[in-house]
């Protein structure tokens, strides 16, 4: 029976991964969380309701802030995991612009402290670092970044994630840690923080409020993304973990650390997305296009990742984006407490 350590377990993506692992494996799970604005134990409470008492017992929560090293006491509580999934991160772009050093501490120092813990484990099978599409910066029309394309961080958040990613590559090269890196973009799903775009639009459409949509300077073109449901991220992650002794083939410089883009099934602009959310609710969309980049430097109009590598290996999301959006809208309207900022 494997033991997996998941950081940020009460966070949005992590709690979906925990549910997926409990449902599909017999693994023991230890999660580290400090329970700040991103972490919410109610997420774990709700997902655990579907499981038996014995299944619930497979999850252990350890309270720890990764800005501090993992000392002997915390290490003893964690035990010796076979797998480490590092998802804990500060991820609010606006806050990173105001307080960049916080993101250095959370995302870079926190990652290095976890890597230092990992390098002491004798039989670690895999360390997976969850990075972001934002490290590549704005994607011009027609461009989708591959796993080993150059970084072009446009805000302190993405710079901190890129720096942590480079530390992972360095620890594989220096200490031979078995590291995989994933890039995800615009993950959505049930129990997401209400400040994020999709739950925000659901709430504003429901309440007849105006939706502000990020656009170009001329306010003629809405920003676009490849949205992916958190359950698809969990499914893709398990596919990656089941790749035995994978070595990337191709021209990617001198990097040795395997990287994978976990990409949603299709690209959609945010105005079309908002309109579809309104249509599901049988309501009109009240909206305004705003030049977000001029008013909020560091926000890019378009991000895009190339899904080709994982597709060639046999994985892509199984459910269409329109179906996933409809599921999340209907679930959120029935569970309205997750749409509240309070």
3-class DSSP string for 6-31: EECCCCHHHHHHHHHHHHHCCCEEEE
Residues 203 and 149 in one domain: no
Residues 213 and 256 in one domain: no
Pick the closest to residue 113 from 34, 59, 15, 3 (CA basis).
Answer: 34
Indicate whether 7 belongs to any domain. yes
Residues 101 and 170 in one domain: yes
Whole-number Å distance between alpha carbons of 25 and 20: 8
Domain count, the chain: 2
Residues 97 and 34 in one domain: yes
Residue 258 CA, chain-centre distance (Å), reads 18
Indicate whether 245 belongs to any domain. yes
The pair of structure tokens assigned to 41 is 């134990």
Q: Domain with 7 in it: what CATH number?
A: 3.40.50.720
Range of the domain at 85: 3-187+226-262
The pair of structure tokens assigned to 175 is 């200490």
- The set of residues, in sequence order, having a beta carbon less than 8 Å from that of 330 and lying 6+ positions away, is 280
Query: In terms of DSSP H, where are the helices of 25-155?
Result: 41-48, 53-56, 72-78, 93-98, 100-103, 110-118
pLDDT score recorded for residue 292: 63
Whole-number Å distance between alpha carbons of 291 and 300: 11
Residue 114 CA, chain-centre distance (Å), reads 18
Indicate whether 39 belongs to any domain. yes
The pair of structure tokens assigned to 81 is 């995991």
Residues 254 and 210 in one domain: no
Residues 29 and 40 in one domain: yes
Q: What is the mean pLDDT of each run of 10 residues along the chain (342 residues)?
A: 95 96 97 78 92 96 96 96 96 89 97 98 96 93 92 94 97 94 95 94 97 87 91 97 80 71 93 97 95 63 92 95 97 94 58
pLDDT score recorded for residue 207: 97
pLDDT score recorded for residue 254: 52
The pair of structure tokens assigned to 335 is 């569970």
Residues 135 and 182 in one domain: yes
Residues 213 and 121 in one domain: no
Residue 188's φ and ψ, nearest 5 degrees, are -140, 170
Domain boundary among the residues 262, 280, 309 is at 262
Residue 323 CA, chain-centre distance (Å), reads 20
Indicate whether 306 belongs to any domain. no
pLDDT score recorded for residue 321: 95
The pair of structure tokens assigned to 249 is 């083939």
- The set of residues, in sequence order, having a beta carbon less than 8 Å from that of 193 and lying 6+ positions away, is 12, 37, 38, 199
Whole-number Å distance between alpha carbons of 78 and 88: 16
Indicate whether 280 belongs to any domain. yes
The pair of structure tokens assigned to 59 is 């999850």
Write out the catalytic residue numbers. 157
Indicate whether 203 belongs to any domain. yes
pLDDT score recorded for residue 38: 61
Q: Domain with 213 in it: what CATH number?
A: 3.90.25
**Which of the 8 DSSP states describes residue 97?**
H
Residues 276 and 177 in one domain: no
Residues 139 and 256 in one domain: yes
Indicate whether 310 belongs to any domain. no
Residue 88's φ and ψ, nearest 5 degrees, are -60, 130
The pair of structure tokens assigned to 16 is 């979906």
Residues 161 and 277 in one domain: no
Handedness of CA 187, 189, 194, 198 (dihedral sign): positive
| 257 φψ region: left (φ > 0), alpha (ψ -120 to 50), beta (else) | beta
Residues 183 and 212 in one domain: no
Say if CB 93 and CB 206 are below 8 A apart.
no
Indicate whether 166 belongs to any domain. yes
Say if CB 316 and CB 310 are below 8 A apart.
yes
């Amino acid at each position: 029976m494997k033991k997996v350590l998941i950081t940020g377990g009460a966070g949005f993506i992590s709690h979906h991964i925990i549910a997926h692992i409990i449902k599909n494996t017999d693994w023991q799970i230890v999660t580290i969380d400090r329970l700040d604005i991103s972490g919410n134990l109610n997420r774990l409470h709700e997902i655990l309701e579907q499981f038996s008492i014995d299944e619930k017992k497979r999850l252990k929560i350890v309270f720890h802030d990764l800005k501090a090293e993992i000392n002997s006491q915390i290490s003893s509580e964690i035990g010796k995991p076979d797998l480490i999934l590092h998802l804990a991160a500060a991820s609010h772009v606006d806050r990173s612009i105001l307080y960049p050093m916080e993101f250095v501490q959370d995302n870079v120092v926190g990652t290095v402290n976890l890597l230092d813990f990992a390098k002491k484990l004798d039989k670690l099978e895999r360390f997976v670092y969850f990075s972001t599409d934002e490290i590549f910066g704005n994607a011009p029309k027609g461009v989708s970044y591959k796993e080993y394309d150059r970084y072009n961080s446009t805000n302190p958040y993405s710079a901190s994630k890129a720096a942590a990613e480079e530390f992972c590559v360095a620890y594989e090269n220096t200490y031979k840690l078995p590291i995989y890196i994933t890039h995800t973009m615009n993950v959505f799903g049930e129990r997401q923080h209400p400040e994020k775009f999709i739950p925000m639009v659901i709430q504003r459409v429901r309440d007849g409020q105006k939706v502000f949509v990020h656009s170009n300077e001329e306010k003629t073109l809405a920003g676009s993304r490849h949205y992916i449901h958190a359950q698809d991220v969990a499914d893709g992650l398990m596919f990656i973990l089941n790749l035995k002794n994978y070595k990337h083939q191709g021209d990617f410089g001198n990097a040795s650390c395997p990287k994978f883009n976990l990409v949603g099934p299709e690209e959609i602009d945010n105005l079309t997305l908002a309109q579809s959310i309104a249509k599901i609710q049988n309501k009109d969309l009240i909206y305004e296009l705003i030049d977000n980049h001029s008013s909020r430097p560091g926000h890019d109009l378009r991000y895009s990742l190339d899904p080709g590598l994982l597709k060639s290996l046999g994985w892509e999301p199984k459910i269409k984006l329109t179906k996933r959006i409809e599921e999340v809208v209907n679930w959120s309207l029935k569970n309205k407490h997750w749409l509240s900022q309070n």
